[in-house]
C-alpha cells in the first residue's frame, strides 16, 4: 500500500435497500491520473461522495495516504487532509472577478501546509498567479466570472480547487457540455495538474478518457468490473456488452 494514496475496501452504500456501491474495491496510486467510467447509475458519483465524506458507507474502509481513515471523518476534515473536489454544478461567484474567485478559494485553504508556508500575504498572490496561468485565464483575471464561456467557468472551478493544493483532486464529468477544443484544453489542463498530484476523473467522453488516462476503471452496479489500459478495457467482452456496446 506504500504507493497508494487512496484505498477503498469492501465499500457498501445502500439507498432504500438499493446497493449503490456493492462491495467496491478501488485504489489510486500517488501521482496517478485515473479515469472511472461506467453507465448512468453505476455508482460513480457515490464513490466520490464516500471519499469526500458526503456519504458515509454502511461498511468498508476508506484510507488516505496509508493511515488516514476517511470513513471516520467529517467533510471539512477530509478536505483539510488534502482532498479537493470539483463538483458537476457550478459553484463560482458570477459577480466577482476571476481573480477574486481564486483568492477567496485560496483563503479558505486551512491546511497545515498553507498555514506554515502560505500565510495570507505574498505567497497567496503568487499561488493565485500560478493557478491563473495553469487554467489559461491570465488574460481574463479581471473579468467578471459570469462573463466567461462555459468551458472557462469549468477551468476556473478546477483552479479554485487546485489553488488549495490538494494531494488528490476529484473531478466529476469535467467535459460535459464542452466544445471539442474546450475538451482538448481540459485534457491538457488535467494532465498538467496531475504532474504534481493524484487526479481521479469521472467521465463519459471516451475520446477524452483515451487522451488523459493511463489506467481506466469500469464501474457497473456499484462494483469494479474491469480495470486496465483504455485498450484493455475496450477489448473486454463484459465492458463491451454492458457499456460500450450501447454506443
Query: What is the enclosing helix (H) or strand (E) of 218?
Result: strand 215-220
Rounded distance, CA 29 to CA 1, Å?
A: 9
From ligand ADP, Mg ion, none, interface partner of 40 (C-beta below 5 to 8 A by class) = ligand ADP
**According to the binding rule CB under 6 A, does residue 41 interact with ligand ADP?**
yes
177 Cβ neighbours under 8 A, 6+ residues apart: 150
Contact letters (x/-) for Mg ion, 43-72, by CB under 5 A? Answer: -xx---------------------------
Report which of 224, 241, 211, 178 is spatially closest to residue 25, judged by C-alpha positions: 224
Which residue, 40 or 67, is less far from ligand ADP as judged by CB?
Answer: 40
Size of the site for ligand ADP (CB under 6 A): 10
Which residue, 34 or 44, is less far from ligand ADP as judged by CB?
Answer: 44
Q: Do the Cβ atoms of 204 and 117 come closer than 8 Å? A: no
Contact positions with ligand ADP (CB under 6 A) in 8-37: 15, 20
Q: Do the Cβ atoms of 52 and 85 come closer than 8 Å? A: yes
Which residue, 152 or 173, is less far from ligand ADP as judged by CB?
Answer: 173
Q: In this chain, which stretch among 27-35, 40-48, 161-169, 182-190 interacts with ligand ADP, using CB under 6 A?
A: 40-48
Instruction: Select the residue interacting with ligand ADP from 34, 44, 86, 220 (CB under 6 A).
Output: 44
Q: Which residue is nearest to Mg ion (CB)?
A: 45
Which burial class, exposed, middle or buried, applies to 142 when counting CB atoms under 10 A from its CB (0-12, 13-18, 19+)? exposed
**According to the binding rule CB under 6 A, does residue 43 interact with ligand ADP?**
yes
Detail the DSSP E strand segments found in 16-154: 18-29, 33-37, 59-64, 68-69, 83-86
**According to the binding rule CB under 5 A, does residue 198 interact with Mg ion?**
no
Work out how close the CB of 67 gets to ligand ADP at its nearest, in angstroms, rounded to a whole number: 27
Rounded distance, CA 134 to CA 99, Å?
A: 13
- Contacts with Mg ion by CB under 5 A lie at 44-45
Amino acid at each position: 500500500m506504500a504507493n497508494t494514496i487512496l484505498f477503498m475496501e469492501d465499500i457498501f452504500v445502500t439507498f432504500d435497500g438499493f446497493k449503490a456501491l456493492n462491495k467496491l474495491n478501488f485504489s489510486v496510486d500517488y501521482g496517478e491520473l485515473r479515469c472511472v467510467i461506467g453507465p448512468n447509475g453505476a455508482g460513480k458519483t457515490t464513490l466520490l461522495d464516500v471519499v469526500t465524506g458526503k456519504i458515509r458507507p454502511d461498511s468498508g474502509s476508506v484510507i488516505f495516504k496509508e493511515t488516514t481513515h476517511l470513513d471516520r471523518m467529517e467533510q471539512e476534515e477530509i478536505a483539510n487532509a488534502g482532498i479537493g473536489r470539483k463538483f458537476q454544478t457550478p459553484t463560482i461567484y458570477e459577480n466577482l472577478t476571476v481573480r477574486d474567485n481564486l483568492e477567496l478559494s485560496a483563503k479558505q485553504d486551512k491546511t497545515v501546509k498553507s498555514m506554515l508556508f502560505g500565510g495570507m500575504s505574498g505567497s497567496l498572490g503568487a499561488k493565485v498567479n500560478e493557478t491563473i496561468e495553469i487554467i489559461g485565464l491570465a488574460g481574463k483575471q479581471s473579468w467578471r466570472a459570469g462573463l466567461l464561456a462555459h468551458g472557462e467557468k469549468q477551468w476556473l472551478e478546477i483552479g479554485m480547487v487546485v489553488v488549495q493544493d490538494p494531494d488528490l483532486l476529484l473531478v466529476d464529468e469535467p467535459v460535459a457540455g464542452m466544445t471539442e477544443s474546450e475538451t482538448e484544453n481540459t485534457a491538457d489542463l488535467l494532465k498538467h495538474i496531475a504532474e504534481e498530484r493524484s487526479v481521479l476523473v469521472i467521465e463519459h467522453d471516451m475520446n477524452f478518457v483515451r487522451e488523459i488516462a493511463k489506467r481506466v476503471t469500469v464501474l457497473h452496479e456499484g462494483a469494479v468490473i474491469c480495470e486496465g489500459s483504455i485498450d484493455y478495457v475496450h477489448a473486454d467482452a463484459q465492458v463491451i456488452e454492458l457499456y460500450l456496446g450501447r454506443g
